[in-house]
Amino acid sequence: GIPMEIIVGKMFKLEIWEMLLSSMRIGEVAEFWCDAIHTGMYALVSRGMRRIAEGRDPLEGQKHRCGMGNMFDYHSTGYDDLDELQRMPQPLIFIMELFRVEEPSAYKRDTWAMSKEEKLAAVPVLHSEGNRLVLRKEFGQAAAKYQEAVICLRNLQAKEKPWEEGWLKLESLVTPLVLNYCQCQLELGEYYEVLEHTTELLQKHNDNAKAYFKRAKAHAAVWNEREAREDFLRVAHLDPSMAAAVKKELKQLGERMRKKYVEDRKRYQGLF
C-alpha cells in the first residue's frame, strides 16, 4: 500500500527499473517486456518486497552479507516460484505506474545515499539540531540527530586508513558527538547504552576525562560502586578543573550506596 521509491543513479539491484521509470511521464501506467539478461536480480528484489508486504523485516534472519551471499548460505529465497526463477532466469513483464518525481535538492536522502561532500556538510547541521533539541529537553530526538551525524562520519572513516591523518580528523568530529549522544542517554535512563559507548570510546582515547565522567555516572546509576569510584577518580586526575564536580558526585554516590545498604538490610533481615 506504499509506493516504492528509487533514487536514480544509486545502483538499485534492478538497474533496468531506473531506465524504465526515466522514460515515463508522471501519472502514466506502462508495460515493459524485459529480456532475461536484465532480470537476474528480480528474485532477490521480490523477496524483500514480499516480506515488507507481509509486515516482516526484509532482512529477517540474514547474516551480515550481500543478498547473493545469503542465497549461498540458505539455498532458497523462501518462495518456491522465486527459487524456480533463480534456477531458470526468464524474460519478465513489468507494469509500472509513476506517481511522483522529486528533484535531488527536494529529497531528504538517507545517509547511505549521500556523497562524501554531502555527509560532511550534514554533520554540523545535525550537530546543531541536536543541541537545539537538548535545550528543549527533547533528549530522544536529540540523540537521534547525534547518532545520524556519527553514522555519516563512520561511513567516511571506513574509507580511510585507521590512525592516519584523514581518519584522525574524522575521529575528532566523532568524539564530541558520541559524548553528546551519551549525555542524552543518561537523561533518558539508558545507562547500559552509555556504558557501551563510553567504553568503546575510551578504548581508543583513554585520556578523555568527559568519557570517564559519563561512564562513572552510568556505573553509579546501576550500582557499580567500585567502577564508578575508579572512573570518578580518573576524571579528577586527568582534569583537575573537574575536581569539584567529582567530589560532589562521590558524595552523592556514597549517600546513595548507604541508603541502598540500609534498605537492603531491612528487606532481607527477615529471611534468615
Domain that holds residue 25: 15-98
Whether 23 is in a domain gets the answer yes
Do residues 142 and 241 both lie within one domain?
A: yes
User: Which residues are within 8 A (CB) of 215 and not within 5 positions of it... i.e. 6 or more apart?
Assistant: 194, 195, 198, 199, 202, 231
Q: Which of 67, 98, 129 is the last residue of a domain?
A: 98
Write the pLDDT tens digit of every residue in 202-219. 999 999 999 999 999 999
Where would I find the H helices in the chain? 15-22, 42-53, 67-74, 80-87, 116-135, 139-157, 165-188, 191-204, 209-221, 225-238, 243-268
Do residues 120 and 250 both lie within one domain?
A: yes
- Residue 93, judged by CB atoms within 10 A of its CB (0-12, 13-18, 19+), counts as exposed
Do residues 137 and 254 both lie within one domain?
A: yes
Element (DSSP H or E) covering residue 30: strand 29-34
Find the CATH number of the domain harbouring 30: 3.10.50.40
Per-residue pLDDT band at 266 (split at 50, 70, 90): confident
Residues 14, 92: contact at Cβ < 8 Å? no
Find the CATH number of the domain harbouring 153: 1.25.40.10
Do residues 238 and 148 both lie within one domain?
A: yes
Whether 3 is in a domain gets the answer no
Do residues 129 and 216 both lie within one domain?
A: yes
Do residues 191 and 250 both lie within one domain?
A: yes
Q: What is the pLDDT of residue 29?
A: 97
Q: Which of 98, 124, 146 is the last residue of a domain?
A: 98
| Number of domains comprising the chain | 2
Q: What cell does 2 get?
A: 506504499
Do residues 181 and 236 both lie within one domain?
A: yes
Whether 228 is in a domain gets the answer yes
Q: What is the pLDDT of residue 271?
A: 65
Other C-beta atoms lying within 10 Å of the C-beta of residue 267: 9
User: Which residues are within 8 A (CB) of 160 and not within 5 positions of it... i.e. 6 or more apart?
Assistant: 166, 167, 170
Q: What is the pLDDT of residue 62?
A: 58
Per-residue pLDDT band at 115 (split at 50, 70, 90): confident
Residues 133, 145: contact at Cβ < 8 Å? yes
Do residues 164 and 61 both lie within one domain?
A: no
Per-residue pLDDT band at 158 (split at 50, 70, 90): confident
Whether 206 is in a domain gets the answer yes
Whether 186 is in a domain gets the answer yes
Q: Which of 44, 64, 98 is the last residue of a domain?
A: 98
Q: What is the CA radius of gyration of the chain?
A: 26
For CA atoms 59, 62, 66, 72, the dihedral sign is negative
Do residues 94 and 171 both lie within one domain?
A: no
Write the pLDDT tens digit of every residue in 170-208. 999 999 999 999 999 999 999 999 999 999 999 999 999
Whether 54 is in a domain gets the answer yes
* β-bridge partners, 29: 97
Section 228-246 average pLDDT? 96
> At residue 64, does pLDDT exceed 50?
no
